[in-house]
Amino acid sequence: MGVPRVTTGLESFLDRPPRSLARARLGLLCNQASVDSRYRHARDLFARKVGRRLTTLFSPQHGIFGEKQDNMVESTHGRDPVLGIPVYSLYADVRRPTAEMFANIDALLIDLSDVGCRVYTFITTLRYCLEEAARFGKKVVVLDRPNPIGGALEGNLLDPSLLSFVGAHRLPMRHGLTMGELARFFVGDGGIGADLEVIPLHGWRRRLLFADTGLPWVTPSPNMPTSDTALVYPGQVLLEGTLLSEGRGTTRPFEICGAPWIDPAPLCAALRRRRLPGAIFRECWFQPTFQKWAGQVCGGLQIHVTDARTFHPYRTTLVILAEIRRLWPDADLWRPPPYEYETVRLPLDLLTGDTCIREGLDAGQPVAAMQKEWSRELAAFAERAAAYHLYGS
């Protein structure tokens, strides 16, 4: 592999640690994707750099090394087998750092990869950490990483009545920010009084996709195996709120979708007539090994992204759902609760962030009309978010 074009916040921090943290006790929120350009893990790099001042580790959903393969499976607290220090799960009996967890640190370092989507739970964990750090008087240092799908925006903003663990701030589905920029946005737009420092990327621009960075891809969550998966995720994640398989239990999660009652031929033919930009829809059959429809043969499609810069993942999946609703109007399509700690509200509503999306699909409302309705609020968000940008186009 050649020299990366982009330098991560992790590598910049280790090269020139902030003087303000010279004697600070450090906690580190990380997972298996927290690596440098040579695949060395942040835990090991910090242990060598700061020694015993690294006192505590924290993990997000799926565990510190992504060992929890399926969705909505909690990880437990424990001790790191190499360093012997505590590891606190922020996807367990609690989802926020407690006073006990913060007792032996002065600053929390956060080195997590987002995939550019509002519902990816790592950004909720980021917000919760900022809130609790402000409460307990701890500093937060975000080691920035690229947004793998670039700086484009798409989708409706979250309705505040639908705040949840898969939507903790009023963002569009595709928010176009890096983790560092999100932290700045949460503090400024959300009024969180946290002591925040962002160690920025070097060489990143908003137009770049992950393949342009030269950095290694390490799956940030078990069902995000490639950067291609991230391209479709801001749309295909909606299928978690349906009774369709989103491809979990296959080798191409989120790119593949379907159900036993779907005939791929008319579905793909209908999608081709729509002339959606940047993608080809290929008829396919698959048999998931776990989760929805495990062990059963499903008909459906695979999304092949042919031009990531013209592809609109959120619009594309809404069109897929609209065509499925049209072709199979009597199908039981919407998944009932519970979902991500919510037991009353419908999962699809939590994911879209607006009940009008589901109601519109059921009523046969054109997706283009939905887009028109949210275009003004998306433009307003773009203006607000620009104040927190760290990188140009």
CATH code of the domain containing 258: 3.90.1150.140
Residue 145 contacts residue 113 (beta carbons within 8 Å): yes
Q: What range defines the domain where residue 143 resides? A: 9-221
* Residue 188 sits in the same domain as residue 261: no
* Residue 145 sits in the same domain as residue 210: yes
pLDDT at residue 65, as a whole number: 86
* Residue 178 sits in the same domain as residue 244: no
* Residue 287 sits in the same domain as residue 245: yes
224/216 Cα distance (integer angstroms): 14
Query: Which residue, 221, 241, 264, sits at the end of a domain?
Result: 221
Residue 22: strand, helix, or coil:
coil
Instruction: Give φ, ψ of 98 to 5 degrees.
Output: -100, 170
* Residue 240 sits in the same domain as residue 193: no
* Residue 74 sits in the same domain as residue 198: yes
Residue 78: strand, helix, or coil:
strand
- Summarised one tens digit per residue, pLDDT across range 81-90 is 999 999 999 9
Residue 354: strand, helix, or coil:
coil
* Residue 216 sits in the same domain as residue 303: no
* Residue 162 sits in the same domain as residue 286: no
208/148 Cα distance (integer angstroms): 8
Two tokens, residue 221:
């969550």
Residue 233 is assigned to a structural domain of this protein: yes
Residue 382 is assigned to a structural domain of this protein: no
DSSP string, 235-296: HHGGGGGBSSB-STTSSSBTTEEEETT--HHHHHHHHHHHT-TTEEEEEEEE--SSSTTTTS
* Residue 158 sits in the same domain as residue 271: no
Q: How many domains does the chain have?
A: 2
* Residue 67 sits in the same domain as residue 134: yes
* Residue 190 sits in the same domain as residue 246: no
The CATH number given to whatever domain includes residue 118 is: 3.40.50.12170
Query: Which residue, 167, 193, 221, sits at the end of a domain?
Result: 221
Residue 204 is assigned to a structural domain of this protein: yes
Residue 360 is assigned to a structural domain of this protein: no
- Exposure of 72 by Cβ count < 10 A (0-12 exposed, 13-18 middle, 19+ buried)? middle
72/61 Cα distance (integer angstroms): 8
The sheet carrying 26-29 orders its strands as: 78-79, 86-89, 54-59, 26-29, 107-110, 139-143, 195-199
Residue 183 is assigned to a structural domain of this protein: yes
Residue 192 is assigned to a structural domain of this protein: yes
Residue 117 is assigned to a structural domain of this protein: yes
CA 102 to chain centre: 25
- Summarised one tens digit per residue, pLDDT across range 154-190 is 999 999 999 999 999 999 999 999 999 999 999 999 9
Question: Which segments of the chain does DSSP mark as H helices, in order?
Answer: 9-15, 42-50, 99-102, 121-136, 179-189, 227-236, 264-274, 313-327, 347-352, 355-363, 367-386
Residue 298: strand, helix, or coil:
strand
pLDDT at residue 1, as a whole number: 47
Work out the end-to-end distance of the chain between its first and last CA atoms, rounded to an integer number of angstroms.
Answer: 26
Q: Which residue in 309, 317, 262 sits closest to 286, CA to CA?
A: 262
Q: Is the pTM of this model over 0.75?
A: yes
Q: Which residues of the chain have pLDDT under 50?
A: 1
Residue 356, Cβ neighbours under 10 Å: how many? 17
* Residue 148 sits in the same domain as residue 259: no
Query: Which residue, 163, 188, 221, sits at the end of a domain?
Result: 221
Residue 361 is assigned to a structural domain of this protein: no
335/326 Cα distance (integer angstroms): 18
